[in-house]
Amino acid sequence: MMDRLASTDEAVRDVRETTCCVVGGGPAGVMLALLLARRGVPVTLLEAHKDFERDFRGDTIHPATLDVLHQLGLAEQVLQMPHGKMRRLKIVTPQGSVLMGDLGRLRCRFPFVAMLPQAQLLEFLVHEAEKLPAFHREMGANVQRIVVEDDVVRGVRYRGADDAWHEVRAVLTVACDGRFSKVRALAGLEPVKTAPPMDVVWFRLPRLPADEQDDGTIYIADGHLAVMLDRADEWQVGYVILKGSLQQVRAAGIDTVRQSLRRLVPWLSDRVDLLHDWKQTTVLSVESSRLREWHRPGLLLIGDAAHVMSPVMGVGINYAIQDAVETANLLAAPLRRGRVEAADLAAVQKSRQFPVRVIQAFQRMIQNRIAAPALQAGRPFRIPWFLRLALRLPVLRNIPARMVAYGIRPARIRECTANQ
- Evaluate whether residue 64 is within a structural domain: yes
Whether the CA torsion 173, 179, 185, 188 is positive or negative: it is positive
The amino acid at 87: R
Q: Which pLDDT does position 3 carry in this prediction?
A: 47
Q: Residue 338: pLDDT above 50?
A: yes
- Evaluate whether residue 104 is within a structural domain: no
Give the Cβ contact number of residue 248 at 10 Å: 11
55 pLDDT tier (thresholds 50, 70, 90): low
Do 51 and 175 have their domain in common?
A: yes
- Evaluate whether residue 229 is within a structural domain: yes
- Strand 215-221 vs strand 88-93: parallel, antiparallel, or unpaired? parallel
Q: Which pLDDT does position 298 carry in this prediction?
A: 98
Do 278 and 295 have their domain in common?
A: no
Do 266 and 335 have their domain in common?
A: no
Q: Which pLDDT does position 420 carry in this prediction?
A: 40
- Name the domain count of the chain: 2
177 pLDDT tier (thresholds 50, 70, 90): very high
The amino acid at 347: A
Do 75 and 169 have their domain in common?
A: yes
First to last CA, the chain: 41
Altogether, the residues listed in the chain come to a count of: 420
Do 330 and 270 have their domain in common?
A: no
Do 271 and 326 have their domain in common?
A: no
- Evaluate whether residue 414 is within a structural domain: no
Section 167-195 average pLDDT: 94
Section 77-97 average pLDDT: 89
- Tell me if 158 sits within 8 A of 144, measured CB to CB: yes
- Evaluate whether residue 375 is within a structural domain: no
Residues 394-417 pLDDT 10s: 777 788 889 899 988 899 999 644
Residues 115-146 pLDDT 10s: 888 999 999 999 999 999 999 999 999 999 99
**SS3 labels along the chain:** CCCCCCCCCCCEEEEEEEEEEEECCCHHHHHHHHHHHHCCCCEEEEECCCCCCCCCCCCEECHHHHHHHHHCCCHHHHHCCCCEEECEEEEEECCEEEEEEEHHHCCCCCCCEEECCHHHHHHHHHHHHCCCCCEEEEECCEEEEEEEECCEEEEEEEECCCCCEEEEEEEEEEECCCCCCHHHHHCCCCCEEECCCEEEEEEEEECCCCCCCCEEEEEEECCEEEEEEECCCEEEEEEEEECCCHHHHHHHCHHHHHHHHHHHCHHHCCCHHHCCCHHHCEEECCCEEECCCCEECCEEECHHHCEECCCHHHCHHHHHHHHHHHHHHHHHHHHHHCCCCHHHHHHHHHHHHHHHHHHHHHHHHHHHHHHHHHCCCCCCCCCCHHHHHHHHCCCCCCHHHHHHHHCCCCCCCCCCCCCC
Do 333 and 304 have their domain in common?
A: yes
Q: What is the mean pLDDT of the chain?
A: 90
7 pLDDT tier (thresholds 50, 70, 90): low
214 pLDDT tier (thresholds 50, 70, 90): low
- Tell me if 37 sits within 8 A of 45, measured CB to CB: no
Mark which of 233, 262, 284 sits at the end of a domain: 284
Q: Which residue has the higher pLDDT, 194 or 293?
A: 293
Q: What CATH number corresponds to the domain at position 184?
A: 3.50.50.60
33 pLDDT tier (thresholds 50, 70, 90): very high
Expressed as residue numbers, the domain containing 48 is 12-86+109-194+288-368
Q: Which of 292, 294, 321 is nearest to 305 (CA)?
A: 294
- Tell me if 39 sits within 8 A of 327, measured CB to CB: no
Do 217 and 164 have their domain in common?
A: no
419 pLDDT tier (thresholds 50, 70, 90): very low
Q: 22-31, 48-57, 273-282: which range is least confident on average?
A: 48-57
Mark which of 252, 284, 316 sits at the end of a domain: 284
Do 175 and 213 have their domain in common?
A: no
Cα–Cα distance for residue pair 55/243, rounded to 1 Å: 21
Q: Residue 1: pLDDT above 60?
A: no
Model confidence, pTM: 0.92
- Evaluate whether residue 7 is within a structural domain: no
Q: Residue 299: pLDDT above 80?
A: yes
Mark which of 255, 284, 313 sits at the end of a domain: 284
- Evaluate whether residue 420 is within a structural domain: no
Residues 231-264 pLDDT 10s: 777 888 999 999 989 999 999 999 999 999 999 9
